[in-house]
Amino acid sequence: MCCSAAKWKREEVPDHKFDFVDVNDFKDGSLIRRFLYLVLFALIIKNILVIAADVWTAYLLIRFNNWSRSISNPDLLKYGRWVFFASIIFSFLLILWELRKTARIVKSRDIAYAYTCNGAYRFYSIRSYAHFCLFAQINNSRRKTDRIAFFVYFTLKGWKRFLLAEAPRQVVNGIALFNVYIINGRFQPTRFYDNGSDLMARISFALMSFTFCVWAISAILLLIAGVLYLPLLCQIRGNLKEYVCHKIDKRLAELLRKKSRQRI
């Protein structure tokens, strides 16, 4: 089954560009859709806060050369702060690379590629609510296999950032938090207050806890996507990105036909 030829083939559809689609036809004034639009902004703010939190933690480590009286491991401080610094620099390099990729996709005006690129998706969604509604309707009415394919694709496409930019500093975060909160195999939440009036240390630990929890959730999702990846390839029998774009084009064609019939 895995070696047989795919029954689908992705072909570029010239009409499936923003130049030929009136996105205002897809506006949805429902409360649920407007709420999800707010959620999109919340997720963007969350991503900014995670980066800001890690930058602040790195600043505290390098500037004050100390985490807290609760951590007595000199090697963790000595090497951990430079791991933080290097991974944050790599994060910004990835952001620049993503911006370049986003600019190229936005210039192409291709709807399928815009949907599969986080930067382009957010650019168009922030640009207008109508674009967000179009993407949301593309996202609807998929078969179970398609839902899994979209989940796996969008989860795994961020593996470089996860493993090379986020994982190193979150491992340092995890070790530091373990040193603080785990005593003799038991979780001691009151250790957070052992820093006394050291406000900077408390802020640092709060930010570290926040970013580590966000990363841990991403790790679980990435693991699930990784487990589903090979069975999914056997099911679709082809390139995952091309399959996703094929399904987007197919769904968009259905939506355009529906809007055309409504005009008649």
pLDDT at 226 (0 to 100): 93
Q: In the structure, what pLDDT confidence band is assigned to residue 214 with cuts at 50, 70 and 90?
A: confident
Query: Where would I find the H helices in the chain?
Result: 31-64, 74-108, 111-116, 118-127, 129-139, 144-156, 159-160, 167-181, 199-236, 240-263
Beta-bridge mates of residue 182: 187
Beta-bridge mates of residue 183: 186
pLDDT tens digits, one per residue of 21-37: 888 988 988 999 999 99
pTM, two decimals, is: 0.77
pLDDT tens digits, one per residue of 64-108: 655 555 555 666 667 777 887 888 888 889 989 999 999 999 999
Count CB atoms within 10 A of the CB of residue 89: 12
- The full set of domain ranges for the chain reads 18-263
Top mean pLDDT of 58-72, 108-122, 186-200 is at 108-122
